[in-house]
Amino acid sequence: MYADAKRGRTLIEESREAVVVLDESDVVLLASRRARQSIDDLREGRRLPEGLLSGDRGVIPLTIPFEVEGRRERLVYLSQVGDLAAYEELRTGFTAAVSHELRTPLARLLALLETATLPGEDLNALVDQARSEVEQIRELIDDVLFLSELETGREVVALGSTPPLPVLEDVLAELEERAARAGIKLRLAGDPDVEVPLRPRMLKVIAENLAENALRYAGPGATFTLSASGEDGTVVLSGSDTGIGVSESDLPRLFERFYRADRARASRGTGLGLAIVKHVVTSAGGSVEAIGARGEGLTVRCVFPAP
């Protein structure tokens, strides 16, 4: 119970939204860092400032009632009017990006179908290429839908805790054949006694995306290592490769949707893998960072509070 309460407090505290938890008397029990920074007179242990729930202060409240051990409490999102415009801009940009990413495999698929009508063409080879383009489209749609589920809260990320090494081992075993074709060696390392605050499925999602990112971009001759260990009261899950790396200027942008570093722009990936990793990790109260440089490989560290 203590671990669940600690995890809940961390999720509220690190939320990117202005969110508070209120009791029946409108006393603030918990408040996110953004709520405390954006609302001057908001304090935990005091009543919620007047006008916030009524919308009189330019805030649009979204209230979600729930019960904890017989007590009625409310989770309240306090969105500024301008936040809605920013969200709409983000949504429009995301829709445009998805449309752009779909056009490339669709254009290639159309070209293959037109080529198939010409005399003397190798139909079997064209069908194989067309199948690959359809798979690329399916993968992109699956990633977009999964990311949408995460953002709307339909996927419970941090539910219980999981020993990571068996899951990581299964992921590497499933990717062994692809790694061999890519000329990349796979390794597993870590502490068998640690646990991460994630459901097994969510842990597998992170591991798969970290590994597949390395298989696509590290380059032949590289070694990719998945590891999990305890560090200073946290649990660190990392994917590290010895491949070509990325420029330091690209590192902060690797977790953006559809962003690809220079070598990766022509890759077959969806550009959503590391964005999904970041969303799952932060939803579980953790943080994520990319470390590396051109010619020095890439390491992605996912740091979680110990369960």
CATH number where 27 lies: 3.30.450.20
What's residue 87's pLDDT?
Answer: 47
Residues 219 and 126 in one domain: no
242 or 113: whose pLDDT is higher? 242
Residues 175 and 300 in one domain: yes
Residue 292, pLDDT > 80, answer yes
In this structure, what CATH number is given to the domain that contains residue 172? 3.30.565.10
Among left, alpha and beta (phi > 0; psi -120 to 50; other), residue 26 is left
What's residue 303's pLDDT?
Answer: 92
Domain count, the chain: 3
Residues 127 and 71 in one domain: no
Mean pLDDT of 29-50: 82
Q: Mean pLDDT in the chain? A: 77
Mean pLDDT of 254-273: 57
Residue 185, pLDDT > 80, answer yes
Is the overall model pTM greater than 0.75, yes or no?
Answer: no
Look at residue 297 and tell me if it is in a domain: yes
Determine what percent of the chain is predicted with pLDDT higher than 70: 72
Look at residue 88 and tell me if it is in a domain: no
Residues 130 and 259 in one domain: no
| Distance of alpha carbon 212 from alpha carbon 266, whole angstroms | 16
Mean pLDDT of 177-195: 93
Residues 123 and 69 in one domain: no
Q: Where is the domain boundary, 48, 82, 116?
A: 82
Residue 142, pLDDT > 80, answer no
Cα angle at 277 between 276 and 282, to 5 degrees? Answer: 100
- At 164, is the pLDDT very low, low, confident or very high (cuts 50, 70, 90)? very high
Residue 106, domain extent: 96-151
Look at residue 280 and tell me if it is in a domain: yes
Look at residue 264 and tell me if it is in a domain: yes
Residues 129 and 255 in one domain: no
Q: Where is the domain boundary, 35, 55, 82?
A: 82
- At 200, is the pLDDT very low, low, confident or very high (cuts 50, 70, 90)? confident
185-190 and 298-305 as β-strands: parallel, antiparallel, unpaired? unpaired
Residues with Cβ within 8 Å of 68's Cβ and at least 6 positions away in sequence, in order, are none
Residues 168 and 297 in one domain: yes
Residues 119 and 175 in one domain: no
- Choose from 28-42, 58-72, 77-91 the range with maximum mean pLDDT: 28-42
Look at residue 158 and tell me if it is in a domain: no
- At 29, is the pLDDT very low, low, confident or very high (cuts 50, 70, 90)? confident
Pick from 80-84, 121-125, 245-249, 281-285: least confident: 80-84
Pick from 3-7, 50-54, 199-203: least confident: 3-7
Residue 306 burial (CB count, 10 A): 16
Look at residue 87 and tell me if it is in a domain: no
Look at residue 15 and tell me if it is in a domain: yes
Look at residue 159 and tell me if it is in a domain: no
Torsions phi, psi for 78 (to 5 deg): -115, 85
Residues 133 and 35 in one domain: no
